[in-house]
Structure formats: structure tokens, C-alpha cells
Structure 1
Amino acid sequence: MPLLPTGRRSDAPDELSDQRSVAISGVHKVFRSRGTAVEALRSVDLHIRGGEFVSLLGPSGCGKSTLLRVIGGLVEPDAGIVTVGGLTPNTARRMKRFGLVPQASSLVPWATVDKNVRFLSSLESRRDVGHSALSDDEIDDLIDTVGLSKFRNSYPHELSGGMQQRVSLVRGFALGAPVLLMDEPFAALDEITRSDMRYLLLELWERTGTSVVFVTHSISESVILSDRVVVMAARPGRIAAVEEIGLPRPRTPEMEDAHEFHEHARVLRTHLKEHHS
């Protein structure tokens, strides 16, 4: 996937055949353990357009991470249909159509920053994954973008938590996967580092055209990052509201002081309170 100039995303047609699109229809999931049934998701319908940044926002236990895993083919729904670029999640996963950035950086401890970033793309041939991984020059450019050029030969234990997450971010994009799934990747960081990471993420996303599905508990984080914020109600997990974010792009820290930013945050807070229980 070639890098796009900063501040631009691909305007490809919004069709299900777009490798970056995700279509979710009537998804239902129940977890059963020792005779107890827990309804995790109920009648979830959502269409994520190619190149879109969508956040899943909601309280703990509302099914955000479960929905992310259903999209990624890691959890099989009991009912409903999910497609990624027209493929089933399992097929898309086998073809490495997903990049994943988890809450913990999960870097390979014996590998340098440079090798960690290239770890996943080095395991897959371009013929097998069905899309083009980023070139070495493009990966080098992403490493420079997140300020890690001087740490290429450092090991994870030599890095701060924020720097480890920068490596994890670049690794997520380096495979060139059309869809990036992010499960609260900044939750363990202090607020200042977390804020910096948001804008690094946006810069990488704007340059690659990848679709991003981002799980978060943070209202402000969801507003500054997203094209749309999907508010999920408490168990059983279901979509309570979808808020279109009207802030212009590229996003900047100054926008967090704008009236429009605070109005979006107010609306989302109201939705969360209405559907908390």
C-alpha cells in the first residue's frame, strides 16, 4: 500500500469489495461457561468505509473488544454476517488483511526496534498476503515520523512505555494491511504521552489510507481521532448511537479547545449516561 502525502487519504469508492471496508450485519454473540450464558453482543450493524477512522466507545464489559475480535476473525459470532473487503473474517485474517495494535506493546524482547518493526512483514510473502507490504524505505520513513530513528538498534527493555508503543504503532502499519484493529493501545500511558501518541497515530493513518477500528474508554480521545464514534451500550453490547465528528483534518491539539470539540464530547457523554445500564 503506497504511502499517501500527509493529510490525505484515498477517496476510493465505498464498496464492499474495497479491501479496507468492513460490513457488520446482525451480529450476535453469547459466551457460555459452566452453565452460565453471557450475551456479549446483540444485533450489531455497522459499515466502516474504506480509509475511515472509527472508534468504539463505551463502558467496560459492553462488548467493544469482543466486536473488534469478531471483525478480526478471532471470535466467531453466533449469528450475523461480517465481511472485510467482501471476504469472511477468517479468510481476511489468513490473507493478513488486518494489522493489530493491542493494549500491551507485545514486542519481541530479543529483537531491536528495527527488527521488531519489520517482524510481521518479514514472515509473509507479498504473494500470500494478497496486498503489498510497505517497502523498506516506506517503513524507514514511518520510523522517522514517530521519532525512533536514533533508537533503531535499541531493545524493548531500553525504551520507555511510550516509545515501545511507538514501535508497536509502526509495526501495525508496516505490514500494509488494509484494516488496522486497535484495542485501547494507549490505556497504560500517562496523559501527556497518550496525547502525543494520538497525533502520531493520526499522522501515520493519514499517510497510509488504512481503515482503523479503535477501541477506547476516552471520550476526548475518540473525538480528536475519529471520523465517527460508535457508542456501545452496556451488556448486552449493542450500538446505542453513532456520532459523526465534524472537526476538519488534519487534527491538531488546538482543536481540543474548540467549541465544536466540546460539543461532540458533550453529546457522547450524554449517550454514555443514557445507555450505561
Structure 2
Amino acid sequence: MARTIAEIKESITTDFMRNEDVAALYGFAPGDAFTTHFSRVSIENLFFYIVACATWVLEQLFDRHRTDIENRIDTIMPHRPKWYRDKTLAFMQNRLLLPDTDRYDTAGMDENEIEAARVVKFAAAMENTDSSLLTIKVAGEKEGVRQPLDADTEKQLAAYIAETKDAGVRINLVNRSADIFHCKVDIYYDPILLSEEVENRCREAIRNYVENLPFNGEYTHMALVDELQKVEGTRIVELISASAEGSDDSVPIVIDTRFTPSAGYFTAGEIILNMQSYK
């Protein structure tokens, strides 16, 4: 990153004042402050300022050259899945790309307008090494709840991805309703508390956990049990079963230890809690 003119001039004058030969010639002690012996209109000060300006221009040119080279490298190198995720999040509804680019013209738009146009609020990209297929999962958001994009927006997004992707990359765009999470749990609770109160808190803990996982994050039995053990009044938690039901699944899928939702996110479904007093 280029230095400021003041920083460059400070570096020059510091080295100048530290030079013992220069100090002997001008009659000052090595290391003195430059401004102590030279005024703002002195030949030395003006000369160093001109040199600092020229150096600043040169450093600016080097910075721009480096940026240009990095941009050129980005355009010729295949991109990683993270690039596709970020590019998908940059999609803007009902906006055209600049000709022959993968960027939008946002001139005249304020931050609120830009944010409103970026309707893809969640995205994840992962490559299937067996089929050489890049899967991109997406979701929008309404009132803080994840939800699929509408059909028209999905078509726009698919066209945008086709326009911006690397040549030869096969894309599988996933825009689905949330996978439905079901579970059955035995809860042994402290009898000093009401069963209904502990049950409601446990039910809310399950819902909060599965519905607030990171987008395309992994569910685990261990993490769910950990969340339930934090609930006041629970003494023992035994997970009996758990399953997930995707929008394309004919029957729920039994979860064995861990599971990543096919849509990228969950919504809580049938939660059966068997409340038993701990004695």
C-alpha cells in the first residue's frame, strides 16, 4: 500500500538528520529533528517535498499495477467454490450486468437499495468430486426466517450464474423449502419444576438449534443433546431418534449421528418429548 507524501518525507528527513557527515557539514547533532534546523521555505525542505511527491506518484503507480495484475490473474484462473458463493450473494434482482463483465452498475443506488436488490441472503457452494458438479444452495429471508426464492427470481439467478461462471463448469442450483427436522427424545427432569415448563424450554431449545444452524451447516446428535442439557431442569437427555424430510424426499431420512440438510437449512417439524420425573 502506497505511503502518504508526509510519511515519505518524514522517512527522507529522518535518514538525512541521522547522517553524521551531513550533521558535521550543517553543524547539528546527528538525530536532531529536521524542523529544528530547517524552515518550511528552506531549499532542503522544498527539495525533500518534491522528492516525496515524485516517490508517492511512483508508489501509486506500483499499487495500481499490482491491482491490475491481480485482477487479470482472477479472470484467467478457475475459481474456488467460495468465489461462486460470494458471486451468488452479489446477485441483484431485476438488474442488468455491465456489458462483458460480471459486475453491476450501482451508480446512483444507495446502500439500502443495493441491499434490497440482493435477495439471496444465504448461499453455499460445494463440489461433487464424483460427478464434477458444483452445487450452489441458496435461500432468501423474510422477517428473519429463511425461505426459498420465488420461481421468477430463481430463473434470474440461474441466468446470472450461467453468465458469470467459468466456462465448462456445470452448476446444480438448489433452491428449496427447508428440510423438516423430526425427533423423539426422553427428558428426565427435576421434579421440583413443572413438567410443562421444562418441556416448553426443551422444545424451544431444539427449535433454536436446528433453525439457527449456519447455512448448509452440519447437524449432530451430540450438539443437540448439549443444547438440551443446558435447559434448566433437565437431568438426563436421551435422544431416541431423529430424521430429516427434504422437499424432494418421499419418506423422511433417518439421521445417523450427523446430517447436512439438502436445502441448506432446517425448520422444526414433529418434536416428541417424553417427560419423565428424575427420582
Give the TM-score normalised by structure 2: 0.21
Give the TM-score normalised by structure 1: 0.21
Higher RCO, 1 vs 2 (CA within 8 Å, ≥6 residues apart): 1
The structure having more radius of gyration, on CA atoms, is 2
